[in-house]
């Protein structure tokens, strides 16, 4: 146990890194995913901005990118990372890759939740003279808010999961801490403390998400 106390500063730093990676990825990736999801929904045949070409392109892109395992995805976009953020390792690099990866995952969830909104509701908004963009933002998103929050909660958990691999690319975080300070030194308390920390983090996120979703659904 004293090894853990000796490494308390490292542990704190690991938590900070994980929180940084996860929160930026959920917020930035979530925002980008929302846009992608809205594009997928809106350009679908018969919808507000029906556009076959745009839908096909985004749809194929999402289908191709989404299933790529995170480690491979991060490796594959290294040229892009060099171009945009100038590095391929470290916390920022991992956060960048994770944001993108989360965006593609969330885009489908957004699209599917928007598709569950009754088309009649959209028709009512159109009949009231609303502009399509305003219908997307002030009708569709509020109508699907409960399931959307649950979808984002689901993605938050997945992002925490993927963030554990950050250590592979020098990104630090709790996963890295558990391996380099824990299992590699046969220091099991450190492993379990890391596990417990992640469980608490996930539970807190899950609790918050469920609570917000319940409020949105008025249940």
Partner 1 sequence: MSVPAEPADARAEIHVRLERVGKTFPGRGRRAAPVVVLDDVSLEVRRGEVFGVIGSSGAGKSTLLRLINGLETPTSGRVYLGERELGALNERGRREARGDTGMIFQQFNLFRSRTVAGNVAYPLKVAGVGQPERDRRVARLLAFVGLLDRAHDHPERLSGGQKQRVGIARALATEPSLLLVDEATSALDPETTGEVLALLGQVNRELGVTIVIVSHELDVIRSLADRVAVLDVGRVVETGTVYDVFTRPRTTAAARLIGTDLRERPSPATLARLRSGPGGGRLVTVRVREGDGEGERAEERGGARPGLAHVFLAHQVAAEVVFGGIRELQGRPAGSLTFELSGADAAVDAALAALRADGVDVVEEPAGNA
Distance from CA of residue 116 to its chain's centroid? 21
The single residue among 131, 185, 214, 215 that binds partner 1, judged by CB under 8 A, is: 131
Task: Tell me: does residue 120 bind partner 1 (CB under 8 A).
Answer: yes
Which residues, 197 to 216, sit near partner 1 by CB under 8 A? 216
Residue 196 or 217 with smaller CB distance to partner 1:
217
- The piece of 140-148, 161-169, 179-187, 195-203 that touches partner 1 (CB under 8 A) is 140-148
Contact status: 121 vs partner 1 (CB under 8 A): yes
Q: How far apart are CA 183 and CA 92, in angstroms?
A: 25
User: Residue 137, interface with partner 1 (CB under 8 A)?
Assistant: no
Are residues 43 and 35 in contact, defined by beta-carbon separation less than 8 angstroms? no
DSSP symbol at 165? G
Q: Quick one: 37 or 146, whose CB is closer to partner 1?
A: 146
Residue 133 CA to its chain's centroid (Å): 24
CA–CA dist 208, 78 (Å, integer): 34
Closest to partner 1 by CB, 67 or 142: 142
- The conformation of residue 64, written as its DSSP 8-state character, comes to H
Is 114 a residue that touches partner 1 (CB under 8 A)? no
Q: Which residues contact 141 (CB under 8 A, 6 or more apart)?
A: 114, 148
Residues that bind partner 1 (CB under 8 A): 118, 120-121, 123-131, 134, 139, 142-143, 145, 216, 218
């Amino acid at each position: 146990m004293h090894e853990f106390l000796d490494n308390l500063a490292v542990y704190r730093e690991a938590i900070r890194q994980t929180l940084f990676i996860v929160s930026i990825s959920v917020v930035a990736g979530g925002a980008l995913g929302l846009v992608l999801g809205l594009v997928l929904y809106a350009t679908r045949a018969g919808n507000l901005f029906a556009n076959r070409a745009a839908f096909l392109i985004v749809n194929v892109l999402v289908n191709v990118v989404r299933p790529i395992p995170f480690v491979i995805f991060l490796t594959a976009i290294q040229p892009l990372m060099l171009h945009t953020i100038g590095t391929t390792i470290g916390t920022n690099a991992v956060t960048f890759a994770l944001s993108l990866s989360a965006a593609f995952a969330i885009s489908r969830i957004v699209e599917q939740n928007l598709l569950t909104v009754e088309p009649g509701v959209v028709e009512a908004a159109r009949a009231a003279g609303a502009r399509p963009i305003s219908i997307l933002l002030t009708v569709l998103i509020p109508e699907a808010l409960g399931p959307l929050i649950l979808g984002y909660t689901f993605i938050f958990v997945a992002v925490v999961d993927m963030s554990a691999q950050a250590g592979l690319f020098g990104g630090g975080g709790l996963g890295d801490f558990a391996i380099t300070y824990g299992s590699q030194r046969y220091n099991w308390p450190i492993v379990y403390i890391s596990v417990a920390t992640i469980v608490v983090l996930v539970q807190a996120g899950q609790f918050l998400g469920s609570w917000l979703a319940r409020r949105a659904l008025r249940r």
